[in-house]
Chains A and B, each alone.
Chain A
Amino acid sequence: MATPVNKEDAFSQFLLRMGDNTLILGHRVSEWCGHAPVLEEDIALANTALDLIGQTQMWLGLAAEVQGEGKSADDLAFLRDAWDFRNVLLCEVPNGDFGRTLMRQFLFDAWHSIQLGRLMKSSDERVAAIAEKASKEVAYHLERSADTVVGLGDGTEESHRRMQEALDYLWPYVGEMFQSDEADAEMVKAGIAPDPASLREEYDVLVSRILGDATLIIPDSSFAHKGGRTGAMHTEHLGHLLTQMQWLQRAYPGAKW
């Protein structure tokens, strides 16, 4: 994989990372539509997915504009293959049970809310505007996922056990959100985005507090799966997700709503 060196490539990389995170997680969350344990949760998950997909439209729309090849956000979403995606692996892991879905949401929302807060001060006003819009929605996502993680973690014996299992399974996917490469360095230099590593301290404080309230124990390991945000290696799950998500545009190229 070529390392982006100039600012345009790095900017495009950054925008794909933002947009692919929200696209892939939004799709995963939408898989719950009609299947959640209770109606209120079904509605909440569908609304969360909708927000994330709406944010994708803005990030990938800007990515397409920056790339300047005449593509649209839809082209980027539906016509790229797995190796072109730049989402972190956390977003593509399967839903598992309801508890794991909400744990994944919380671990992502906590990062997302801090990242968007920083991006609101971006030197690129388009990035700052998207971040301003998205951060209002993400504040609600975080409030709900944190409440649910506490409710289930500090709940019954079974819900506690499932949430601890979810945390043990997902924790190795957290580290990737804070890894940096040359593209990130380029973004820091241009004042467009923060160094991912610089978000870690604030993240750990927030996550430790909520998981503590949830009576859950953070695994004592710093091992991190990686390869999603660089595109070097996704999990096998992404390809399966894309066959679902991209099916219509692949089978009927150019089909319109």
Chain B
Amino acid sequence: MSQAIAQPNIDQIWEWLDAVPDPEIPVISLVDLGIIRDVAWEGETLVVTVTPTYSGCPATSVIAMDIETALRDHGITDLRLKTQISPAWTTDWLSEKGRTKLEEYGIAPPQPAGGPEKCPHCGSTRVTKVSQFGSTPCKAHWRCQDCLEPFDYFKCI
């Protein structure tokens, strides 16, 4: 028999998930990244719907484990993770808070124009692309022509 304890409310659970860092860019949370699409109780079971960023992203399984661990730490044991691939993840789902934190961390946030607005180190707009592919699937590699520092740009997809 399951114990009759009150189910934590959905807002509370979103707050807990917002404290789980992205394994590759730990300054932003999984909620900031926009990959948590839904949190809902189905009877006794908490269902968390997650959308992967890139299909081959090696962080995907780590992310699933981190969500489970975090929620179990808050006493949620009856938990199901649901993977949803459509609608496909888009960088439009990054939160404003996430975009600010990315830039402070030295990663230029995605722009609809397809390239960084400015260098995250010195703010110069004189920047050039080195490669469409960077240190992780979600980033491209750019360089600043003023401070000469290389930097990651979070690709717009």
**A residues in contact (CB < 8 Å) with B:** 40-41, 43-44, 47-55, 57-58, 125, 128-130, 132-134, 136-137, 140, 143-144
Pairwise interchain contact B131-A132, C-beta atoms closer than 8 A:
no
Q: In the docked arrangement, what's the CA distance between A44 and B141, Å?
A: 10
With A51-B137, A58-B85, A136-B88 known as contacts, the answer to whether A43 contacts B131 (CB < 8 A) is yes
Pairwise interchain contact A54-B55, C-beta atoms closer than 8 A:
yes
Can you pick out 18 interface pairs between chain A and chain B where the beta carbons lie within 8 Å of each other?
A40-B131, A43-B131, A43-B133, A43-B135, A47-B133, A50-B57, A50-B58, A51-B54, A57-B55, A129-B85, A132-B85, A132-B87, A133-B86, A136-B90, A137-B55, A140-B132, A143-B132, A144-B132
Q: What 7 pairs across the A-B complex have the smallest Cβ distances?
A: A54-B56, A54-B55, A129-B86, A50-B56, A44-B133, A40-B131, A47-B133
With A50-B58, A50-B137 known as contacts, the answer to whether A44 contacts B131 (CB < 8 A) is yes
In the complex, per-residue mask of B107-141: 1 if CB is within 8 Å of any chain A CB, else 0: 00000000000000000000000111111010001
Which has the most chain B C-beta neighbours within 10 Å: A47, A55, A125, A132? A47
With A55-B56, A134-B55, A137-B54 known as contacts, the answer to whether A144 contacts B86 (CB < 8 A) is no
B155 close to A (CB within 8 Å): yes
B147 close to A (CB within 8 Å): no
**Chain B at the A interface: mostly helix, strand, loop or mixed?**
loop
Give the size range of B's interface with the partner: 20 to 34
A134: shortest Cβ distance to chain B, in Å? Answer: 7
In the complex, per-residue mask of B50-71: 1 if CB is within 8 Å of any chain A CB, else 0: 0010111110000000000000
Q: In the docked arrangement, what's the CA distance between A51 and B58, Å?
A: 10
Note all chain B residues with C-beta closer than 8 A to A44.
131-133
Q: In the docked arrangement, what's the CA distance between A58 and B58, Å?
A: 14
Pairwise interchain contact B88-A132, C-beta atoms closer than 8 A:
yes
B81 close to A (CB within 8 Å): no
B40 close to A (CB within 8 Å): no
Note all chain A residues with C-beta closer than 8 A to B148.
none
B157 close to A (CB within 8 Å): yes
Pairwise interchain contact B55-A133, C-beta atoms closer than 8 A:
yes
Note all chain A residues with C-beta closer than 8 A to B131.
40-41, 43-44, 144
Closest to B55 in A: A54
Pairwise interchain contact A136-B133, C-beta atoms closer than 8 A:
no
Could you say which of A40, A50, A54, A58 contacts B141, with CB atoms under 8 Å apart?
A40
In the complex, per-residue mask of B13-51: 1 if CB is within 8 Å of any chain A CB, else 0: 000000000000000000000000000000000000000
Note all chain A residues with C-beta closer than 8 A to B90.
136
Task: Give me 18 other A-B pairs in contact (C-beta within 8 A), A49-B56, A129-B88 excluded.
Answer: A40-B131, A43-B131, A43-B133, A44-B131, A47-B133, A48-B133, A51-B137, A52-B56, A54-B56, A55-B56, A129-B86, A130-B85, A132-B87, A133-B52, A133-B86, A133-B88, A137-B54, A144-B133
Note all chain B residues with C-beta closer than 8 A to A55.
55-56
Note all chain B residues with C-beta closer than 8 A to A133.
52, 55, 85-86, 88-89
Note all chain B residues with C-beta closer than 8 A to A125.
86
Which has the most chain A C-beta neighbours within 10 Å: B54, B87, B134, B135? B54
